[in-house]
Amino acid sequence: MTSYTATAPATRTRSAAVRIAGIAYLVAWVTGLSVWPTNPSVAATGPEVLAGLAGHTAVAITQYVATQGIAGLALAAVVAGRLRRPARFTGYAAVAVSLVQCALGVHLAAYLAPAHQVAAAQSAFALLNRLDGVKMLLLAATALLASWPAVRSRSAGWIDWTGLAMAAAITVSGVGYLLLSTALAPAAYVSGVLLLLWVTATAVTSRRA
């Protein structure tokens, strides 16, 4: 009885923290996309990258910090609090890629672009997009690993089906970003919405996937 009494408040506190992290993930992405809604094409040339960043240093940095840094840390909390192995492993890998993207994006916006380093800016931007592709594929694996057991046991709820739909859509956009394909990358408009829905919903529920 004493053990339960001592453990229950801690469990509720951790669960509340995960819910807050899920909401923070959503807010970080919405904020980041709102401050700078347009970005150069995934296949942008060096001059196009510099032109896209010109006059937008502050908002570009804000976007990278929000969508890759803050969102990455929030995702780590959701992964730790809601996912089981092996989904947890791929989730943490996606977090690691996101944090690398944050650092690289800030370097691009704060240093390479203002210094007019055309070739370096193009290389950094291409690497950012390829890393985005890697992260998307890791997130696809995470959602699949988290959702498939419930589907297989015929106990899947709408969050599980959303996870599978997100995994399929984000695989397409992930391949697009990895290959810098302007034909496939726009699938991120669909997969991004599904990702935000799945992560947030997973966070605010009390179950482990």
pLDDT of 154 over the 90 cut: no
Q: Measure the CA dihedral 12/143/31/56, to 10°.
A: 140
What tokens does 184 get? 């496939």
Q: Classify residue 82 as exposed, middle or buried by CB count within 10 Å of its CB (0-12, 13-18, 19+).
A: buried
Q: What percent of the chain has pLDDT over 90?
A: 83
pLDDT of 116 over the 60 cut: yes
pLDDT value, residue 1 = 46
Q: What percent of the chain has pLDDT over 70?
A: 93
Write out pLDDT tens, residues 160-205. 999 999 999 999 999 999 999 999 999 999 999 999 999 999 999 8
Contact by Cβ (8 Å): 91, 142: yes
Write out pLDDT tens, residues 7-64. 666 677 888 999 999 999 999 999 999 998 778 999 999 999 999 999 999 999 999 9
pLDDT value, residue 13 = 80
Closest CA to 198 of 98, 91, 86: 91
Q: Mean pLDDT across the chain, nearest whole number?
A: 93
